[in-house]
Protein backbone atom coordinates (compact mmCIF):
# COMPACT_ATOMS: atom_id res chain seq x y z
CA UNK A 1 0.00 0.00 0.00
CA UNK A 2 1.24 3.48 -0.90
CA UNK A 3 0.99 6.17 1.77
CA UNK A 4 1.18 9.93 1.30
CA UNK A 5 1.65 12.84 3.65
CA UNK A 6 2.52 16.51 3.28
CA UNK A 7 4.30 18.53 5.94
CA UNK A 8 3.18 22.05 6.79
CA UNK A 9 6.19 23.46 4.91
CA UNK A 10 5.12 21.72 1.70
CA UNK A 11 7.44 18.68 1.67
CA UNK A 12 5.56 15.80 0.07
CA UNK A 13 6.16 12.30 1.43
CA UNK A 14 5.46 9.02 -0.38
CA UNK A 15 6.00 5.71 1.42
CA UNK A 16 5.82 1.99 0.74
CA UNK A 17 6.67 -0.59 3.40
CA UNK A 18 8.65 -3.64 2.25
CA UNK A 19 9.35 -6.20 4.95
CA UNK A 20 11.23 -8.53 2.61
CA UNK A 21 14.39 -6.49 3.10
CA UNK A 22 16.31 -5.20 6.11
CA UNK A 23 17.20 -2.05 4.16
CA UNK A 24 15.49 1.27 3.52
CA UNK A 25 15.84 3.57 0.52
CA UNK A 26 15.48 7.26 1.37
CA UNK A 27 15.09 9.22 -1.86
CA UNK A 28 14.85 13.00 -2.09
CA UNK A 29 13.76 14.49 -5.41
CA UNK A 30 14.07 18.21 -6.09
CA UNK A 31 11.92 19.67 -8.85
CA UNK A 32 14.87 21.46 -10.46
CA UNK A 33 17.09 20.68 -13.42
CA UNK A 34 18.82 22.33 -16.33
CA UNK A 35 15.47 23.69 -17.60
CA UNK A 36 15.42 26.06 -14.61
CA UNK A 37 18.70 27.72 -15.59
CA UNK A 38 19.28 30.98 -17.40
CA UNK A 39 20.78 30.70 -20.89
CA UNK A 40 23.74 32.82 -19.78
CA UNK A 41 24.35 30.73 -16.63
CA UNK A 42 23.96 27.06 -17.49
CA UNK A 43 25.22 23.96 -15.69
CA UNK A 44 24.20 25.18 -12.22
CA UNK A 45 21.89 22.24 -11.37
CA UNK A 46 24.61 19.73 -12.18
CA UNK A 47 27.23 21.77 -10.33
CA UNK A 48 25.00 21.93 -7.26
CA UNK A 49 24.59 18.16 -7.36
CA UNK A 50 28.34 17.95 -6.80
CA UNK A 51 28.38 20.70 -4.17
CA UNK A 52 25.61 19.08 -2.12
CA UNK A 53 28.16 16.43 -1.12
CA UNK A 54 30.63 19.04 0.15
CA UNK A 55 28.89 19.21 3.51
CA UNK A 56 26.32 21.34 5.30
CA UNK A 57 26.55 23.90 8.06
CA UNK A 58 26.38 21.24 10.78
CA UNK A 59 27.87 18.25 8.92
CA UNK A 60 31.20 19.01 7.22
CA UNK A 61 31.64 15.50 5.78
CA UNK A 62 28.47 13.98 4.34
CA UNK A 63 29.86 10.72 2.96
CA UNK A 64 31.65 9.56 6.10
CA UNK A 65 28.39 9.49 8.09
CA UNK A 66 26.67 7.43 5.38
CA UNK A 67 29.55 4.95 5.38
CA UNK A 68 29.68 4.69 9.18
CA UNK A 69 25.95 3.88 9.16
CA UNK A 70 26.50 1.07 6.65
CA UNK A 71 24.79 2.92 3.82
CA UNK A 72 25.46 3.90 0.23
CA UNK A 73 24.47 7.10 -1.53
CA UNK A 74 24.52 8.79 -4.89
CA UNK A 75 22.70 11.36 -7.01
CA UNK A 76 21.92 12.34 -10.58
CA UNK A 77 20.61 15.36 -12.43
CA UNK A 78 18.87 15.78 -15.76
CA UNK A 79 17.11 18.62 -17.55
CA UNK A 80 13.99 18.28 -15.38
CA UNK A 81 14.98 17.20 -11.89
CA UNK A 82 17.70 16.39 -9.36
CA UNK A 83 17.56 13.16 -7.37
CA UNK A 84 19.50 12.11 -4.24
CA UNK A 85 19.25 8.73 -2.55
CA UNK A 86 20.63 6.76 0.38
CA UNK A 87 20.21 3.02 0.95
CA UNK A 88 20.79 2.17 4.57
CA UNK A 89 20.06 -0.58 7.16
CA UNK A 90 16.72 0.03 8.87
CA UNK A 91 18.42 0.27 12.27
CA UNK A 92 20.31 3.37 11.07
CA UNK A 93 17.65 4.94 8.89
CA UNK A 94 17.40 8.11 10.96
CA UNK A 95 20.92 8.97 9.85
CA UNK A 96 19.58 9.39 6.30
CA UNK A 97 16.82 11.78 7.43
CA UNK A 98 19.35 13.76 9.45
CA UNK A 99 21.83 14.07 6.58
CA UNK A 100 19.32 14.99 3.88
CA UNK A 101 17.49 17.49 6.05
CA UNK A 102 20.65 19.28 7.08
CA UNK A 103 21.86 19.98 3.56
CA UNK A 104 18.36 21.17 2.66
CA UNK A 105 18.46 23.41 5.73
CA UNK A 106 21.83 24.98 5.05
CA UNK A 107 24.45 24.10 2.48
CA UNK A 108 27.97 25.12 3.52
CA UNK A 109 29.70 26.52 0.47
CA UNK A 110 33.21 27.85 0.90
CA UNK A 111 35.17 29.53 -1.83
CA UNK A 112 37.53 26.55 -1.75
CA UNK A 113 34.79 23.92 -2.13
CA UNK A 114 33.24 25.88 -5.01
CA UNK A 115 36.64 26.15 -6.69
CA UNK A 116 37.32 22.41 -6.35
CA UNK A 117 33.94 21.27 -7.68
CA UNK A 118 34.00 23.78 -10.54
CA UNK A 119 37.30 22.26 -11.62
CA UNK A 120 35.81 18.75 -11.36
CA UNK A 121 32.76 19.68 -13.46
CA UNK A 122 34.84 21.54 -16.07
CA UNK A 123 37.10 18.51 -16.41
CA UNK A 124 34.02 16.29 -16.78
CA UNK A 125 32.73 18.64 -19.48
CA UNK A 126 36.01 18.36 -21.39
CA UNK A 127 36.35 14.59 -21.07
CA UNK A 128 32.74 13.65 -21.78
CA UNK A 129 31.67 16.31 -24.28
CA UNK A 130 34.62 18.09 -25.87
CA UNK A 131 37.33 15.44 -26.17
CA UNK A 132 35.22 12.29 -26.50
CA UNK A 133 34.13 11.03 -29.94
CA UNK A 134 30.51 12.09 -30.59
CA UNK A 135 30.51 13.85 -27.20
CA UNK A 136 28.97 17.05 -28.54
CA UNK A 137 26.04 15.38 -30.35
CA UNK A 138 23.51 16.42 -27.70
CA UNK A 139 24.77 19.99 -27.72
CA UNK A 140 24.37 20.16 -31.49
CA UNK A 141 21.02 18.40 -31.95
CA UNK A 142 19.34 20.15 -29.01
CA UNK A 143 20.44 23.57 -30.25
CA UNK A 144 19.13 22.66 -33.70
CA UNK A 145 15.73 21.38 -32.53
CA UNK A 146 15.05 23.94 -29.78
CA UNK A 147 15.23 27.70 -30.26
CA UNK A 148 13.42 28.95 -27.13
CA UNK A 149 12.96 26.23 -24.52
CA UNK A 150 15.86 25.54 -22.08
CA UNK A 151 16.01 21.96 -23.35
CA UNK A 152 18.23 23.52 -26.01
CA UNK A 153 21.23 22.75 -23.78
CA UNK A 154 22.11 19.45 -22.04
CA UNK A 155 22.44 19.05 -18.28
CA UNK A 156 26.18 19.73 -18.28
CA UNK A 157 25.49 23.22 -19.71
CA UNK A 158 26.25 25.10 -22.91
CA UNK A 159 29.92 25.81 -22.30
CA UNK A 160 32.56 25.26 -19.58
CA UNK A 161 32.89 29.03 -19.35
CA UNK A 162 29.49 29.22 -17.64
CA UNK A 163 30.79 26.97 -14.86
CA UNK A 164 34.09 28.82 -14.71
CA UNK A 165 32.29 32.15 -14.29
CA UNK A 166 29.86 30.89 -11.62
CA UNK A 167 30.30 32.67 -8.30
CA UNK A 168 29.54 31.39 -4.84
CA UNK A 169 26.78 34.01 -4.47
CA UNK A 170 25.07 33.07 -7.75
CA UNK A 171 25.20 29.38 -6.84
CA UNK A 172 23.71 30.09 -3.41
CA UNK A 173 20.90 32.10 -5.03
CA UNK A 174 20.05 29.09 -7.21
CA UNK A 175 20.19 26.81 -4.14
CA UNK A 176 17.93 29.01 -2.00
CA UNK A 177 15.37 29.29 -4.78
CA UNK A 178 14.93 25.60 -5.60
CA UNK A 179 16.30 23.41 -2.79
CA UNK A 180 13.40 23.95 -0.46
CA UNK A 181 10.72 21.70 1.11
CA UNK A 182 7.86 22.86 -1.12
CA UNK A 183 9.93 21.97 -4.18
CA UNK A 184 10.90 18.48 -2.99
CA UNK A 185 9.46 14.98 -2.64
CA UNK A 186 10.72 12.53 -0.04
CA UNK A 187 10.03 8.92 -0.98
CA UNK A 188 10.87 6.14 1.46
CA UNK A 189 10.69 2.43 0.61
CA UNK A 190 11.81 -0.49 2.74
CA UNK A 191 11.46 -2.02 6.17
CA UNK A 192 10.00 0.99 7.91
CA UNK A 193 6.42 1.88 8.85
CA UNK A 194 4.53 4.91 7.62
CA UNK A 195 4.19 6.27 11.16
CA UNK A 196 7.98 6.09 11.62
CA UNK A 197 8.56 7.91 8.34
CA UNK A 198 6.15 10.72 9.21
CA UNK A 199 7.62 11.02 12.71
CA UNK A 200 11.21 11.29 11.42
CA UNK A 201 10.21 13.62 8.60
CA UNK A 202 8.47 15.96 11.04
CA UNK A 203 11.49 15.82 13.37
CA UNK A 204 14.17 16.51 10.77
CA UNK A 205 12.39 18.41 7.97
CA UNK A 206 9.38 19.98 9.68
CA UNK A 207 11.11 23.12 10.91
CA UNK A 208 12.79 23.98 7.59
CA UNK A 209 11.35 27.13 6.06
CA UNK A 210 9.80 26.79 2.62
CA UNK A 211 11.66 29.87 1.32
CA UNK A 212 10.98 30.96 -2.26
CA UNK A 213 9.15 28.16 -4.05
CA UNK A 214 5.37 27.55 -4.18
CA UNK A 215 3.72 25.22 -1.69
CA UNK A 216 2.93 21.57 -2.36
CA UNK A 217 -0.44 22.51 -3.83
CA UNK A 218 1.52 23.01 -7.05
CA UNK A 219 2.46 19.89 -8.97
CA UNK A 220 4.97 20.02 -11.76
CA UNK A 221 6.10 23.51 -12.74
CA UNK A 222 6.47 23.85 -16.51
CA UNK A 223 9.18 25.97 -17.99
CA UNK A 224 7.86 29.50 -18.66
CA UNK A 225 9.49 29.26 -22.11
CA UNK A 226 7.37 27.05 -24.37
CA UNK A 227 8.91 25.96 -27.67
CA UNK A 228 6.92 27.21 -30.69
CA UNK A 229 5.87 24.75 -33.38
CA UNK A 230 8.64 23.98 -35.84
CA UNK A 231 7.60 25.13 -39.32
CA UNK A 232 10.33 23.64 -41.51
CA UNK A 233 13.03 20.99 -41.54
CA UNK A 234 16.33 22.04 -40.02
CA UNK A 235 19.68 20.64 -41.13
CA UNK A 236 23.25 20.93 -39.96
CA UNK A 237 26.51 19.26 -41.02
CA UNK A 238 29.63 19.10 -38.87
CA UNK A 239 33.03 17.47 -39.34
CA UNK A 240 34.82 15.71 -36.48
CA UNK A 241 37.69 13.28 -35.89
CA UNK A 242 35.49 10.22 -35.31
CA UNK A 243 35.66 6.58 -36.50
CA UNK A 244 32.53 6.70 -38.68
CA UNK A 245 29.77 8.97 -39.94
CA UNK A 246 26.66 9.33 -37.77
CA UNK A 247 23.13 10.32 -38.75
CA UNK A 248 20.98 12.00 -36.08
CA UNK A 249 17.29 12.80 -36.59
CA UNK A 250 15.11 14.47 -33.96
CA UNK A 251 11.31 14.85 -34.02
CA UNK A 252 9.26 16.99 -31.65
CA UNK A 253 6.75 15.03 -29.56
CA UNK A 254 4.37 15.60 -26.63
CA UNK A 255 5.14 16.24 -22.97
CA UNK A 256 5.13 13.56 -20.26
CA UNK A 257 1.44 14.04 -19.44
CA UNK A 258 -0.07 13.06 -22.80
CA UNK A 259 -0.94 9.58 -24.05
CA UNK A 260 1.16 10.42 -27.10
CA UNK A 261 4.24 10.12 -24.85
CA UNK A 262 3.56 6.43 -24.27
CA UNK A 263 2.73 5.85 -27.93
CA UNK A 264 6.06 7.38 -28.95
CA UNK A 265 7.88 5.21 -26.43
CA UNK A 266 6.37 2.09 -27.99
CA UNK A 267 7.12 3.37 -31.50
CA UNK A 268 10.81 3.52 -30.63
CA UNK A 269 10.59 -0.07 -29.31
CA UNK A 270 9.04 -1.18 -32.60
CA UNK A 271 11.86 0.53 -34.45
CA UNK A 272 14.92 -0.54 -32.49
CA UNK A 273 14.30 -2.62 -29.35
CA UNK A 274 16.03 -5.96 -29.89
CA UNK A 275 17.37 -7.86 -32.87
CA UNK A 276 13.89 -8.46 -34.31
CA UNK A 277 13.02 -4.75 -34.42
CA UNK A 278 12.47 -3.07 -37.77
CA UNK A 279 15.51 -0.82 -38.06
CA UNK A 280 17.88 -3.51 -36.80
CA UNK A 281 16.49 -6.22 -39.07
CA UNK A 282 16.08 -4.17 -42.22
CA UNK A 283 18.75 -1.46 -42.18
CA UNK A 284 21.54 -3.24 -40.31
CA UNK A 285 21.15 -6.99 -40.83
CA UNK A 286 19.60 -7.01 -44.31
CA UNK A 287 20.64 -3.82 -46.12
CA UNK A 288 23.80 -3.22 -44.03
CA UNK A 289 23.43 0.55 -44.25
CA UNK A 290 24.29 1.08 -40.58
CA UNK A 291 26.62 -0.59 -38.10
CA UNK A 292 24.47 0.60 -35.19
CA UNK A 293 21.06 2.23 -35.05
CA UNK A 294 18.83 3.29 -32.19
CA UNK A 295 15.52 5.04 -31.61
CA UNK A 296 14.48 6.45 -28.24
CA UNK A 297 12.55 9.26 -26.63
CA UNK A 298 14.12 12.07 -24.63
CA UNK A 299 11.91 11.19 -21.65
CA UNK A 300 11.42 14.83 -20.63
CA UNK A 301 8.53 16.37 -18.72
CA UNK A 302 7.93 19.26 -21.11
CA UNK A 303 7.45 18.55 -24.82
CA UNK A 304 10.46 16.49 -25.84
CA UNK A 305 12.18 14.80 -28.75
CA UNK A 306 12.10 11.39 -30.38
CA UNK A 307 15.59 10.52 -31.62
CA UNK A 308 16.80 8.20 -34.36
CA UNK A 309 20.57 7.97 -34.61
CA UNK A 310 23.00 5.53 -36.10
CA UNK A 311 26.52 5.07 -37.42
CA UNK A 312 26.76 4.56 -41.15
CA UNK A 313 28.57 1.63 -42.75
CA UNK A 314 31.62 2.47 -44.87
CA UNK A 315 30.68 3.65 -48.32
CA UNK A 316 27.07 4.53 -47.44
CA UNK A 317 26.06 8.14 -48.10
CA UNK A 318 24.06 10.22 -45.67
CA UNK A 319 21.36 10.71 -48.27
CA UNK A 320 20.97 6.95 -48.78
CA UNK A 321 20.87 6.26 -45.04
CA UNK A 322 18.38 9.03 -44.31
CA UNK A 323 16.10 7.96 -47.17
CA UNK A 324 16.05 4.42 -45.78
CA UNK A 325 15.00 5.67 -42.35
CA UNK A 326 12.24 7.81 -43.88
CA UNK A 327 10.97 4.73 -45.74
CA UNK A 328 10.55 2.84 -42.46
CA UNK A 329 8.81 5.82 -40.86
CA UNK A 330 6.46 6.16 -43.82
CA UNK A 331 5.59 2.47 -43.45
CA UNK A 332 4.51 3.14 -39.85
CA UNK A 333 2.24 5.90 -41.15
CA UNK A 334 0.63 3.76 -43.84
CA UNK A 335 0.47 0.18 -42.56
CA UNK A 336 -1.00 -0.88 -39.24
CA UNK A 337 1.43 -2.64 -36.94
CA UNK A 338 0.45 -6.36 -36.74
CA UNK A 339 -1.11 -7.48 -33.46
CA UNK A 340 1.73 -9.89 -32.75
CA UNK A 341 4.38 -7.16 -33.11
CA UNK A 342 2.42 -4.65 -31.04
CA UNK A 343 1.70 -7.18 -28.28
CA UNK A 344 5.39 -8.01 -28.17
CA UNK A 345 6.48 -4.44 -27.50
CA UNK A 346 3.62 -3.83 -25.05
CA UNK A 347 4.57 -6.96 -23.10
CA UNK A 348 8.22 -6.00 -23.20
CA UNK A 349 7.42 -2.56 -21.81
CA UNK A 350 5.27 -4.03 -19.04
CA UNK A 351 7.85 -6.63 -18.03
CA UNK A 352 10.69 -4.08 -18.00
CA UNK A 353 8.76 -1.72 -15.73
CA UNK A 354 7.56 -4.51 -13.46
CA UNK A 355 11.07 -5.91 -13.12
CA UNK A 356 12.54 -2.46 -12.53
CA UNK A 357 10.07 -1.92 -9.69
CA UNK A 358 11.19 -5.04 -7.80
CA UNK A 359 14.18 -3.19 -6.35
CA UNK A 360 13.24 -1.15 -3.28
CA UNK A 361 15.59 1.63 -4.44
CA UNK A 362 14.11 1.77 -7.93
CA UNK A 363 10.65 1.78 -6.37
CA UNK A 364 11.56 4.79 -4.23
CA UNK A 365 12.90 6.66 -7.28
CA UNK A 366 9.84 5.76 -9.36
CA UNK A 367 7.40 6.75 -6.61
CA UNK A 368 8.97 10.19 -6.33
CA UNK A 369 8.81 10.80 -10.07
CA UNK A 370 5.21 9.60 -10.40
CA UNK A 371 4.23 11.80 -7.45
CA UNK A 372 5.90 14.75 -9.20
CA UNK A 373 3.82 14.35 -12.35
CA UNK A 374 0.64 13.51 -10.46
CA UNK A 375 0.26 9.91 -11.63
CA UNK A 376 -0.90 6.92 -9.60
CA UNK A 377 2.21 5.86 -7.63
CA UNK A 378 1.16 2.18 -7.70
CA UNK A 379 2.45 2.12 -11.33
CA UNK A 380 -0.87 0.63 -12.47
CA UNK A 381 -1.82 3.84 -14.26
CA UNK A 382 1.53 3.90 -16.08
CA UNK A 383 1.23 0.27 -17.19
CA UNK A 384 -2.36 0.80 -18.32
CA UNK A 385 -1.26 3.68 -20.54
CA UNK A 386 1.24 1.43 -22.32
CA UNK A 387 -1.05 -1.57 -22.58
CA UNK A 388 -3.88 0.53 -24.03
CA UNK A 389 -1.84 1.73 -27.04
CA UNK A 390 -3.43 0.49 -30.27
CA UNK A 391 -2.21 0.01 -33.83
CA UNK A 392 -4.34 2.99 -34.83
CA UNK A 393 -2.60 5.09 -32.17
CA UNK A 394 0.73 4.14 -33.72
CA UNK A 395 -0.42 5.19 -37.19
CA UNK A 396 -2.01 8.43 -36.00
CA UNK A 397 1.01 9.53 -33.95
CA UNK A 398 3.44 8.53 -36.70
CA UNK A 399 1.55 10.66 -39.20
CA UNK A 400 1.61 13.55 -36.78
CA UNK A 401 5.27 13.61 -35.78
CA UNK A 402 7.18 11.96 -38.64
CA UNK A 403 6.97 14.91 -41.01
CA UNK A 404 9.76 16.81 -42.71
CA UNK A 405 8.84 20.13 -41.10
CA UNK A 406 8.91 18.53 -37.62
CA UNK A 407 12.37 17.07 -38.12
CA UNK A 408 15.89 18.29 -37.34
CA UNK A 409 18.71 16.40 -39.06
CA UNK A 410 22.37 16.39 -38.11
CA UNK A 411 25.02 14.94 -40.42
CA UNK A 412 27.98 14.15 -38.19
CA UNK A 413 30.82 13.48 -40.67
CA UNK A 414 34.21 12.00 -40.02
CA UNK A 415 37.16 14.04 -41.28
User: What is the C-alpha separation between 330 and 328, in angstroms, rounded?
Assistant: 5
Give the pLDDT of the chain (415 residues) as one tens digit per residue: 999 999 999 999 999 999 999 999 999 999 999 999 999 999 999 999 999 998 888 998 899 999 999 999 999 999 999 999 999 999 999 999 999 999 999 998 999 999 999 999 999 999 999 999 999 999 999 999 999 999 999 999 999 999 999 999 999 999 999 999 999 999 999 999 999 999 999 999 999 998 765 443 344 456 678 899 999 999 999 999 999 999 999 999 999 999 999 999 999 999 999 999 999 999 999 999 999 999 999 999 999 999 999 999 999 999 999 999 999 999 999 999 999 999 999 999 989 888 888 999 999 999 999 999 887 766 678 888 899 999 999 999 999 999 999 999 999 999 9
Q: Which CATH number fits domain 2-205: 3.30.1370.60, 3.30.830.10, 3.30.70.580, 1.20.1090.10?
A: 3.30.830.10
Nearest to 78, CA basis, from 115, 31, 125: 31
CATH class of 234-414: alpha beta
As annotated, the residues of the chain forming the CATH 3.30.830.10 domain(s) are 2-205, 234-414
Those residues whose C-beta lies under 8 Å from the C-beta of residue 91, and which sit 6 or more positions away, are none
211-262 tens-digit pLDDT: 765 443 344 456 678 899 999 999 999 999 999 999 999 999 999 999 999 9
Strand order, beta sheet including 12-17 = 2-6, 12-17, 184-190, 23-30, 82-89, 72-77
Can you give the pTM of this predicted structure?
A: 0.94
User: What is the C-alpha separation between 19 and 210, in angstroms, rounded?
Assistant: 33
What b/e string do you get for 91-108 counting C-beta neighbours within 10 Å, with b at 16 or more? ebbbbbbbbbbbbbbebe
Amino acid sequence: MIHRHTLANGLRIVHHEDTTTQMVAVNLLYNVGARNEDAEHTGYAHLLEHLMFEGSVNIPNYDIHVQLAGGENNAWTNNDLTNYYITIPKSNVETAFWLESDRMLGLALTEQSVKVQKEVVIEEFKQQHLNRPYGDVQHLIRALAYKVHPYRWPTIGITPQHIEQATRDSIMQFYHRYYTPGNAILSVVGNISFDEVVQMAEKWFGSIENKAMPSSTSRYIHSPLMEPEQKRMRRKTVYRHVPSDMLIMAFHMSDRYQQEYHVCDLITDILSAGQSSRLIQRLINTRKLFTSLDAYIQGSLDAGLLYIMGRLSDGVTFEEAEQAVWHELDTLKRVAVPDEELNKVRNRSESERTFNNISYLNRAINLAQLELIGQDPTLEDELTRYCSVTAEDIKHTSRKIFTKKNCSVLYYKKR
